Amino acid sequence: MLERIRLWVKQRRAGALGSHDPAHLSTPKLAGDQKLSECRLIVLDLETTGFHPGKDHVIAIGAVAITGKVIHLDDQFDLILRRPELDISETVLIHGIGPEALTQGHETEDALLHLLEWMDGDPILAYHSAFDQRFLEKALRQSLGYSQNHTWIDVAELLPAIFPDAKTGGRGLDNWADFFNLEVSERHHAAADALVTAELTLIALNKAQKNGACTLSELSTKLHYYRRLQRMHRF
User: What is the per-residue pLDDT for 42?
Assistant: 98
pLDDT of residue 115 exceeding 80: yes
pLDDT confidence band for 93 (50 / 70 / 90): very low
Q: Which of 128, 112, 125, 116 is nearest to 23 (CA)?
A: 116
The answer to whether residues 219 and 153 touch, using CB atoms and an 8 Å cutoff, is yes
**Residue 216, C-beta contacts closer than 8 angstroms, at least 6 positions apart:** 31, 32, 33, 34, 36, 39, 123, 151
The answer to whether residues 210 and 38 touch, using CB atoms and an 8 Å cutoff, is no
What is this structure's pTM?
Answer: 0.85
Domain range summary for the chain, segments of one domain joined by +: 35-233
What digits encode the pLDDT tens for the residues 17-74?
334 455 578 899 999 999 999 999 999 999 998 889 988 899 999 999 999 999 998 9
The residues facing 60 across adjacent strands are 47, 80
Q: Where are the beta strands (DSSP E) in the chain?
A: 40-48, 58-67, 70-80, 124-126, 152-154
Q: Which of 31, 198, 70 is nearest to 125 (CA)?
A: 198
**Residue 14, C-beta contacts closer than 8 angstroms, at least 6 positions apart:** none
For the domain covering 35-233, report its CATH number: 3.30.420.10
Instruction: Give the H/E segment covering residue 222.
Output: helix 216-233
User: What is the per-residue pLDDT for 16?
Assistant: 39
